[in-house]
Amino acid sequence: MKRILALTAIGATALITISLALPHLTGADLPVAQSAGIATSAPSTAATTAPAAVASDSLSSSAKKLLEEAKKKAAELAAKAKAAQAAAAAKKAADAKAAAGKAPTGGAAWNNVTFTGAKAKTSLATLKVAPAGTMAGYSRDNFKTWDKSTLGAGCDTRDAVLYRDATAPKIGANCHITGTWADPYTGTTLRDQSDLDIDHMVPLAAAWRSGAATWTASQRETYANSPLVTLAVDNSANRQKGDKTPDQWKPANTGDYCAYAVRWTEIKTTWKLSVTTSEKTALTSMLGTCK
C-alpha cells in the first residue's frame, strides 16, 4: 500500500512539474508535448494537492529516482518548447527581412534608374529616330496595370510606388499609404495620396506609338508595372501631361529637367523604343541642364 501511495504521489508531482512547462507550449509548440505523451491541459485541483499528503521521506530510492526523471523530462520539454518559440520568432524575422529586401522602400531603392546625365546623353544618340506610329489598335487595357506587390497584403504596384516615393511612409489598413511626397513635376509637397497619380513616365500611348504596339501582352504588363517607368506625381500635372512627349510637355519645375530626361531616355533605351526628331531635340536640351 505504501508503495502504491508513493507511486501515486510521483505521478501527481510529475504532472505538476510538467505542467510548469505548459505556459511555454502554445500554437506550434503543443505537438512537442503531445508527441511525448504529455497531456496539454492543466492538472486538476485534486491532482495538485495529492503530493502534500505524502512525505518525501516515505518514498523509496527507486521512487525518488522516478520523480527526478519526471522533473528532468519536464525541464527538457520546457527547453524544447522555448527553443521552438525562438526558432519560430527567428523565422518570422528572417521572412520579414526577406520581404523587405524585395519590397520597395522610400527613396530611390526601387527606382531602377541607373543612368547618369552623361550616360543618358550617350544613349540618346544611339536611339532609333522615327516618326510616331499610329494609335491603331491601342487601348489602355492592352497594358495590365497594378499587379500584386510584395509590399504587403492587399498592396499592388500603385501602392508600392506611393510607398517608395514617400518620405516617412506608413502602411495602414487595406494598404493605405500615408506620408509626404515631394512632387518632381511641380516642386510642391503633397500630404494626401489622393492628390497623387502614378505616372508612366513614358506614357503607355507614347510607348505604343514608338514600339509597344508589337509587344506581347506579357511585355506590356511588365512595362506598365515597371519601377523604372512608374512615378508618384501631382495628379493635376500628370493629367496635363497626358500622353505627351517632352517636345509637347515638360514639368513646370525646371529643376526636374535633368532627372526627367535621364529617366525618359533610360526607359526608351531599356525598352528599345524609338524617338521622334523633335522629341530627341527636346531631350537633348533638357539633358543640357544636368551638372
pLDDT (tens, 9 = 90+) of the chain, 291 residues, equals 444 433 344 344 444 443 434 344 444 444 434 444 444 444 444 444 444 444 455 568 887 788 888 888 889 998 898 988 888 877 665 544 444 433 333 334 456 899 999 999 999 999 999 999 999 999 999 999 999 887 877 899 999 999 999 999 999 999 999 999 999 999 999 999 999 999 999 999 999 999 999 999 999 999 999 999 999 999 999 999 999 999 999 999 999 999 999 999 999 999 999 999 999 999 999 999 999
Q: Output the nine-digit C-alpha cell for 281.
A: 531635340
- Which residue(s) pair with 261 in the sheet? none
Instruction: Give the alpha-carbon dihedral of 126, 129, 135, 140, to 10 degrees.
Output: 20
- Cα 185 from Cα 1, distance rounded (Å): 92
- Position 179 scores a pLDDT of 97
Q: What are phi and psi of 164, to 5 degrees?
A: -60, -40
- Position 111 scores a pLDDT of 65
Q: Helix (H, G, I), strand (E, B), or coil: what is residue 233?
A: strand
Identify whether the C-beta of residue 198 lies closer than 8 Å to the C-beta of residue 227: no
Q: Output the nine-digit C-alpha cell for 110.
A: 526601387
- Position 57 scores a pLDDT of 56
- Which residue(s) pair with 148 in the sheet? 156
Q: Which pairing describes strands 196-200 and 189-190: parallel, antiparallel, or unpaired?
A: unpaired
- Position 59 scores a pLDDT of 66
Task: State the pTM of this model.
Answer: 0.64
Which amino acid belongs to residue 90?
A: A
